[in-house]
Chains A and B, each alone.
Chain A
Amino acid sequence: MKKSKQFWPFIIVAVLVYVVVQVLISTGMMNQFYSNTLIFIAINIILAVSLHLVIGITGQFSIGHAGFLAVGAYISAIITMKLQLPFVVAIIVGGVVAALAGLIVGIPSLRLKGDYLAIATLGFAEIIRIVFLNIDYVGGAAGMQVSHLTTWTYAFVCLFITVLVIVNFTNSRHGIAAISVREDEIASDAMGINTTYYKVVAFAIGSFFAGVAGALYSHNFYIIQPGQFGFLKSFDILIFVVLGGLGSLSGAILSAILLTVVSTYLQGYPETRMIIYSLVLIIVMLYRPKGLMGTMEITDYFKLWRTPKGGGQHGK
């Protein structure tokens, strides 16, 4: 797939956003609350986009993403805190080990389909959590203290690379194959596509970036505990993807931003916070079961404005 002509504008805008935010932070015009919220948003977008690759593009129903987040978080924390290596090494190794965990989980369980796969991934994520719970080297249930190393620069660069890789993967030959697996696994098998291979590859890439997000996560919040990576965390990530619209990258990004901001602002209303959150979920699912964006991307809306006839090509 040749590079799109929108590639360079994208790079320029990304650099621009980064520079503006960085200037605001370093001049002190943006206080720690906003900069931290931005880092948290970036981490959540990485999680959402990495799960989007697994569920939205490849159609594999995984509800155990927090397990890979935990692997990345713990492995990277061990590297910086116990082995005293630089943070960059920690991010990469965290991602690689999470990808390996993704392979270990993916190879047996991706033979399963639909709900069964969902249950198996949920089970694997819980097992990963319990393993960390029982390792005293990483603090057991009480958790492990981690230095604060994540900065806006690290978060943004990781986010940028994640989005770039996943967009390129989606638009590549591999991505098309993965989409065909989502649309009809049996048919694509019959067409000679090695469905297992594409499923496992997508799963491993998704796990890799979840691991990267884990590294950023553990070095942003001072402490990690196994309890933070339970199945409710997996559901949170799943909700980003589904609420945005399955198969829509921009939808996943938008809903990650939206939900993080909403959740942060509701912190001051503890009595009603979770009630509002759950009502939003239910209402969106009842009235827009395909998510806010469906399978559309934001660019499609622009296309609609320009050429009213061209809108339907993404409908399945």
Chain B
Amino acid sequence: MKKSKFATLFLASSLLAGVLAGCGAGEEGTSSDGGDQIKIGVNLELSGPVASYGSSQNDGFNLAVEEINAAGGIDGKQIQLVTVDNKSDAAESTNAAIKLTSQDKVAAIIGPATSGNSVAQVQIANDSKTPMITPSGTSPNVTVSDNGSVNEFAFRTSFIDPFQGTVAANFATKELKLKTAAVYADNASDYAKGLAASFIEDFEAAGGTIVAEESYVAKDTDFRSTLTRIKGANPEFIFIPGYYEEVGLIVKQARELGIDVPLMGADGWDSPTIVDLAGAEALNNTFIINHYSAEDPDGKAKEFADKYNEKYGKAPNSFNALGYDTVYLLKDAIERAGSTDGTKIKDALKATDNLELVTGLYSVDENHHPVKSATILEFVDGKQVFNTKVNP
């Protein structure tokens, strides 16, 4: 051990330099904006803990791109997707965004699925003037930064809406005429927390009482102990904002424990998997706020469901639909911009007005939040049945 290790370091450093040189020489001129292709970057959670969200959206992207390309592309140009996996990790998401903008020089980025990973990409999008659309990044701070300024290049397809919480509170107090409620929210998502907060505020404002407020974390599987606790508080209604993967289990376990009051959730519930997870019988007397009705016999939703089923052999969930819509939202903007220039696409996205998508008519407000109407559906023997429609 007498020997100094400094030479080692020297070697390591020079190796580092070598790697650099190699990188520098490696890929030159990969970018090509012109020609007959439009490059669109995909930054998604394809591995890691929330890989199921990312791969669902990826299926939606691929279906939409396939259709658009088969129909002649955008203004005669074929869409080429450059897909990068961010391992469900914010740091990797930043790296992926940097790769897409500075290496591949994509015209726009679609994804990531979660708010955190989207936030990790926003600055890169702004700095490189590359528009990004997250299909399901529901946290307001994806498009509006902490100091209140709007992130010019960030957009989203999904609701953020405290609006949904308000709709649920009104539904519980006015339609169901209930006085007490419990809230059981996914603590890992701003979406669920936001919905829970606005529900609580509006429910109490309407004279109701919140008897229990509990939370879980996405990817939990055992909810029985907390549900038993909620049951002890005797609510007349339980509001469960969250995603179908956990909600399905929550509904099932709640019914097993003898909780038979109405349960309600938002668009995160929308997936055929929820029926498999919870069971049709357990889902009776539950309500869901959604963008559209998947059981709608005519209209875009049905058409999408058929096409999806044909390609993947299964029924679509809300992540598939949001992914599919994201591509069409971008296509519409590129067509209206008449260019693949980032700033022009951004301006066109901002001007999106009443675009007809699978998940409903879509417009953008000044904070880049979508303006969509909501539909309340009730589960009856595993089928979503139309209940009411609420406008923003």
Contact = CB atoms under 8 A, between A and B. Distances in A.
> So, do A and B actually touch in the complex, CB under 8 Å?
yes
Interface of A: 4-7, 9-10, 13-14, 17, 20-21, 24, 29-34, 36-38, 40-41, 133, 140-143, 145, 148, 163, 167, 170-171, 176, 179, 217, 220-225, 227-228, 249-250, 253-254, 257, 261, 264, 267-271, 273-274, 297-300, 302-303, 314
Contacts of A228: 89-91
A36 B189 contact: no
Provide the main secondary structure of the chain B interface.
helix
Contacts of B188: 141-142, 227
Given A9-B6, A34-B23, A141-B188, A270 B15 contact: no
Given A33-B98, A227-B49, A273-B85, A261 B5 contact: no
A254 B15 CA distance: 8
A297 B2 CA distance: 12
B99 interface: yes
Interface of B: 1, 3-17, 19-20, 23-24, 44, 46-47, 49, 82-96, 98-99, 101-103, 115-116, 119-124, 128, 139, 141, 145-146, 187-190, 193, 217
Contacts of A268: 82-85, 99
Contacts of A21: 17, 20
A298 B6 CA distance: 10
Interface centre among A37, A249, A270 (most CB of B within 10 A): A270
Contact of B139 (A24, A30, A142, A163): A142
Given A254-B12, A274-B47, A37 B95 contact: yes
Contact of B83 (A249, A253, A270, A299): A270
Given A222-B123, A298-B8, A267 B47 contact: no
A5 B10 CA distance: 13
Given A222-B119, A222-B123, A249 B5 contact: yes
A189 to B, nearest CB: 21
A302 B103 CA distance: 37
A148 B98 CA distance: 13
A33 B41 CA distance: 15
A249 B8 contact: yes
Given A7-B4, A142-B116, A142-B188, A36 B94 contact: yes
A-B pairs with the 4 shortest C-beta distances? Answer: A4-B4, A270-B85, A270-B46, A10-B6
Contact of A222 (B16, B44, B83, B122): B122
B7 to A, nearest CB: 4
A34 B85 CA distance: 18
A171 B89 contact: no
A171 B122 contact: no
A33 B97 CA distance: 9
A6 B10 CA distance: 9
10 contacts: A9-B7, A9-B10, A13-B10, A17-B13, A36-B95, A41-B19, A141-B187, A171-B4, A267-B86, A302-B7
Contacts of A171: 1, 4-5
A10 B7 contact: yes
B99 A257 contact: no
B11 A7 contact: no
A142 B5 contact: no
Contact of A250 (B11, B23, B89, B103): B11
Contacts of A179: 1
B6 A267 contact: no
Contact of A267 (B12, B96, B141): B96
A249 B44 CA distance: 35
Given A4-B6, A228-B89, 14 more contacts: A6-B10, A10-B10, A17-B14, A34-B24, A41-B19, A142-B116, A142-B189, A221-B93, A250-B5, A250-B8, A250-B12, A257-B15, A261-B23, A264-B95
Most buried by B among A17, A24, A41, A227: A227
B8 A299 contact: yes
Contacts of B14: 13, 17
A38 B96 CA distance: 14
A176 B190 contact: no
Nearest to B4: A4
B79 to A, nearest CB: 17
Contacts of B19: 41, 257, 261
A10 B95 contact: no
Contacts of B116: 142-143, 223, 225, 227
Contacts of A24: 20, 24
B5 A299 contact: yes
A148 B123 contact: yes
